Every structure is written in structure tokens, then in C-alpha cells.
Copies of this chain bind each other. A is one copy, B any other.
């Protein structure tokens, strides 16, 4: 049985693609509720340019008004050194960055080649180093690109090497559009982990094709213990309308707890938070445990059955 660490990304990866701006007070409420569940890390928001992602234009205000639970890590996504400075000024505990493993996706996403993004990250690393703030580097499309298909492991490896050189303490392998399967996840981590024994690997999954939890369990078989997840399964996939988002936090935590693993998370509080997020966004989220209840849920035996049971 393992201690598994969840990084909750719903208020960033989820809220950033909502059609409507989520009011700042609701974002703060959700972060506070998530803190109270005991989740060890929350990717609160993103310090991108307000015009690039207007849904998260209130990053500073959210960071300044949340109630910080001792022990919880409050991280944020930053696109460049300017964003890194804003995030650090706002009191973020850990910087998250992202670049794609494939040039086409990186260009489509941030209008830079992978090489150009790596230069930007060097500047972020400089800022983080001066402020003594740890960094986590996510690699999008590391398990498949919607434009290019399979991304060679050597290409991912060379990006990991660059991130390690820059001083990143952890690297996130991201299945950005939910293309990965469990056998591939296993091959990927079996390849990468021995090459970089001194950094932590995390896995960022999307449940686009119903393989998120299987992929997480496959990564756990390789010793990975850190996973991103999104409350209620918030989020989605810009390339696949109707597809689900990140792996649902409470469905994942429920599965892990049922299997005997520990997360330090109060699952009931997380399910309640998910129901509150559903009210806030105003539509049904993909989370299943919030609808069905936990496996331990019991139903009342029908009256005629009770009578028969008593007679056995």
C-alpha cells in the first residue's frame, strides 16, 4: 500500500476553459474547500496574460484571499519569467510550467517552438532560483500529440534532461488529450525513471478515452506516486467536444482508498466540494462517485426481503 499525493488542478485546468468567467469569490471558496479536504497540493490558478486566458485574470486576487492551510502547497502555472515574478509576489509556493513535447502542439498552444519554450523556461528557472521557489515542469503531449501522433521517448527524454539541468525538482508527464494507454504509460516510466533517478515524476491524465485511472494504476506499478486530478472531472479537451476532462479527483481518491492506499484526503469533503463545483459551473460534471456514492454505501433492504431473511 502506498502513500499517493494528489495535486488538485481543477481551479486551473478546469476553470480556465469554462465558457463563463467563474466569479472570484467562488474560486476562493473552491480552493478553501479543497484545502479543507487535506489535498497536499492545489494548482490554484495561472499567471498568464489576462488577455490570453481571461477566465483566470483574477490570479492575484484569488491567491491573496484564500485561507492557507498549513502544510498545503499552493502552486500556480506560469508561462514565462514575468508570470513567475507575479506568482512569487502573490505568494505561490511552487511554480508549475508547461511546454509540449511536440513542436506542432507547442506552436498551437503557445506559438513557440519547443526550443523557444525551453529558453523561456530558462528565464523562469532564473527567477525561481533567485527566490528559492521549487519548480515543477509539465511536458504536454509526452504520451501522444493530436497532430503528430506518437512522440518518440527520446524526444521526451531530451526535454526532461533540459528541465533537470535548469533545476526543476519534478517533471510532469502529461497525457494532454487522453491518448495514452496503460501499457504505454508503463513503457514510458520504465524508460525514464532509471535515466533520471534524482527527480520526481508525476503523471497528468485526461480521461478522454476512459483510460485515466488505468493509466494512473500503471504508473503506480512503476513507482510513481504523484498525480494531477481535477475535482468532479472538471475540464475537457479542446480537440474533442463532449470529451471528459482531467481524471476526476474524487473518483481517483475513492479507487485508491478502496484499494488500501492513502492520500491524506477526506473523501466525503472532496465529494461535497465536487457537488458545490457542479452548482457553480451549472452543469453535470463527469465524476461518478458523486452520483453513485462510495462503494461502502448501503441500501435499505425492501420490506418483503426483510421478512424472508428473518425466516431463513
Contacts and interface: CB of A to CB of B under 8 A. Distances in A.
Interface string A296-309: 11111110110011
Given A147-B301, A240-B292, A251 B104 contact: no
A175 to B, nearest CB: 10
Interface residues of A, number: 59
Given A113-B312, A149-B296, A184-B258, A210 B301 contact: no
Interface in A231-249: 237, 239-244, 248
A181 B244 contact: no
B214 A292 contact: no
Contacts of A108: 301-302, 305
A67 interface: no
Interface in A197-230: 207-211, 213-214, 217
Given A107-B309, A146-B299, A149-B296, A258 B183 contact: yes
A211 B207 CA distance: 12
Most chain B C-beta atoms within 10 Å of own C-beta, residue among A241, A298, A305: A305
Contact of A237 (B239, B254, B292): B292
Contacts of A242: 291-292
Contact of A214 (B178, B209, B214): B214
A248 B207 CA distance: 14
A301 B141 CA distance: 14
Interface in A253-303: 254-255, 258-260, 288-289, 291-302
Contact of A295 (B111, B144, B294): B144
Given A209-B251, A258-B181, A295-B181, A243 B305 contact: no
A182 interface: yes
B208 A259 contact: no
B259 A292 contact: no
A288 to B, nearest CB: 5
A299 B113 contact: no
Contacts of A239: 299
A231 to B, nearest CB: 14
Given A113-B312, A183-B258, A292 B146 contact: no
A312 B259 CA distance: 48
Nearest to A296: B149
Contacts of A210: 213, 248, 251, 254-255, 288-289
A21 B243 CA distance: 29
Interface string A104-134: 1001100101000000000000000000000
Given A209-B294, A211-B213, A237-B292, 17 more contacts: A103-B309, A107-B304, A146-B298, A149-B298, A178-B292, A181-B258, A181-B259, A182-B255, A183-B259, A208-B292, A209-B251, A209-B289, A240-B292, A240-B293, A242-B291, A242-B292, A243-B288
